[in-house]
A and B are shown apart, each in its own frame.
Chain A
Amino acid sequence: MSSRWGWTAVAFVTAVLFLLPVIWMVGTSFRPPLEYVSTSIALVPGAPTLAHYRTLIDDGILGKVLNSLIVAVGSTGLALAAGFPAAYALARLRLPARLDIVFLLFVLLIKLSPPIVLAIPLYQVLRAFGLLDTLAGLIFVYQVYSLPFAIWMLLGFVRDVPLAYEEAAMVDGAGLARRLVTVVLPIMLPGLISTAVFLMILSWNEFLYALLFIQTPSKFTLPTYIATLITEDETFWGKLAAIGFLASLPILAVVGVVQRGLTRGFAGGLK
């Protein structure tokens, strides 16, 4: 039995070591500035303060949160709207010349290639459409990765919908659009929701395209705003920690709520 307790101790120490940076972040977000410019290794602030959170609100952090939300909801909505019909077609319809395989392999190549390689031509495309430095432009550009992700994930969920249900609806005279809305969508609703959650996280955290295609500070999303704080020479640790904690809260909440469903998707290589 003693080896069992030894094992437990090792596991707990490892878990705490892994969490240490996160614990540090939460502690620092409540720490007065004088305390973090020190050589102490204490994790819990001596005199907790909400000053950093107040500074963030004065800096217009809520505007950045709103930008991030608009882009996340917009790009998720667009990816689902275009991805669901595509996934259905790929799963159910007979396509000529193995178009489905070609399409899926191309999607895979894009999904796996580095975002920077498309950045230069995308910049020029956005400029041509007058979408540079707009949130709408960002929503479109995020489809480069959101749409393939949506299609791959939804494909599996469409395949799980029993064909018999659709055939029954067809016998009753329901057309394609009607079948999709009344039969297929309701059955795969859980799958649709977990896909949406992943898409939201994907664009909530996206950095490179937001950095390259948005220039006006008032249109920054959270990651680009955080980056401006990191690269400045002055140490804004308290502010950084506070914003880091805030930016993580929605994701931690979501992960906590739908933990089971997420594991499958995470293991599928979201990042």
Chain B
Amino acid sequence: MLLTPALLLFAALTLYPLARGILLSFFVTDYGFAGARFIGLENYADLLGDRFFRRASWNTIAFTLLATAGEVGLGLMLALMVNRRFPGRWIVIPSLVAPFVLSTMVVTAIWRAWFHFDFGFLNNVLRAVALPPVEWLFDPDIALLSIVLVDVWQTTPLTFLILLAGLQAIPLEVYEAARLDGASPRRMFLDMILPLLMPHIFLAALLRSIDSFKIFDKVYALTGGGPGNATETLSMYVYRLGFRFFDIGLASAAAVVMILIAGALAAVYAARIIKGADHV
């Protein structure tokens, strides 16, 4: 009885749309089921043959791997940096977290200006040190990396917080024992801190890859998927097909593929929660 309002909302806003989306993926249609023609798995076959879909898949994988690696690596470095006492630590930590609380559109607005070829801050800095300016968003080889850079700036604070919490959970005795044994800082890090931190690193990487996989708004506002389709991700692909070309059937099939991948990632996450290894 207490669950009723929540269940009603879920039924109307997730269960029904989910079922409808899956069903639509078996039809050719530009709107709903009125006038739609059942074609079985043909949409899925079309996806496999569509080079735009393949490119979007590849872009999504590349973005997810690069962003996750960058965010976990940088987050770890930052966490190690502040995991000791130094004057001003209380102001350094909030500064490092600040980008994370900004809305994605605000973040995107800042970087769109920074990437400007003629007057952007980044190229101004490059020119100031006598380096050639870069076509951050319009060079097909660089555009995706530019979006990765923005994502790393915005969300490294999350991995930083997770890893800092992990570092602080390591008992002080561990450090002391190692110091008594005369272990070098490098050995201490590789043999003790890193293994103890592994569950947190894994959690941070998992959360970031689940999230990077969804990327839409940064791509939409920074490059619109271009140049060409060099930065079109799966979310952009579904958007373009569904809301620009109104190929609802094909877009739904692509969405179903995305749900399957997200479901696999969610399963890994759920398994960890059930095992009780992590909170939340």
Contact = CB atoms under 8 A, between A and B. Distances in A.
A269 interface: yes
Interface string B156-192: 0010011001000000000000000000000000000
Contact of A207 (B86, B105, B118): B105
Interface in B3-42: 3, 5-7, 9-10, 12-14, 16-18, 20-21, 24, 31-32
Contact of B6 (A140, A147, A226): A147
B265 A112 contact: yes
Contact of A82 (B6, B18, B96): B6
B98 A19 contact: yes
B137 to A, nearest CB: 11
B interface bracket (residues with beta carbon within 8 Å of A):
35 or more
B54 to A, nearest CB: 18
B114 A24 contact: yes
Nearest to B103: A205
Contacts of A103: 3
Contact of B109 (A124, A244, A266): A244
| Residue of B6, B31, B108, B222 with highest tally of chain A CB at under 10 A | B6
A271 B155 contact: yes
Contact of A85 (B5, B125, B165): B5
A141 interface: yes
B105 A122 contact: no
B57 interface: no
Nearest to B81: A11
B49 interface: no
Contacts, number: 270
A118 B21 contact: yes
Contacts of B263: 109, 113
| Residue of A78, A120, A125, A255 with highest tally of chain B CB at under 10 A | A120
Interface string B261-276: 0110110011001000
A269 B159 CA distance: 10
Nearest to A224: B105
Contacts of A14: 78, 81, 92, 96
B252 A120 contact: yes
Interface in B122-140: 124-125, 127-128
Interface residues of A, number: 92
A37 B251 contact: no
Nearest to A118: B17
Interface in A4-34: 4, 7-8, 10-12, 14-16, 18-19, 21-22, 24-25, 28
B279 interface: yes
B113 interface: yes
Contacts of B91: 15
Interface string A247-264: 110011001000100010
Contacts of B229: none
Interface string A80-120: 01110110111001000000000101111110111111111
A183 B153 CA distance: 44
B110 A267 contact: no
A221 B199 CA distance: 39
21 contacts: A24-B121, A38-B119, A39-B118, A41-B128, A82-B6, A86-B2, A89-B2, A109-B266, A112-B266, A113-B258, A116-B216, A118-B17, A118-B255, A120-B24, A125-B17, A152-B280, A237-B113, A241-B113, A244-B106, A263-B161, A266-B161
Interface of B: 1-3, 5-7, 9-10, 12-14, 16-18, 20-21, 24, 31-32, 78, 81-82, 84, 86-89, 91-92, 94-114, 116, 118-119, 121, 124-125, 127-128, 153, 155, 158, 161-162, 165, 207, 210-211, 213-214, 216-217, 220-222, 224, 234-235, 238-239, 242-243, 248, 251-252, 255-256, 258-259, 262-263, 265-266, 269-270, 273, 279-280
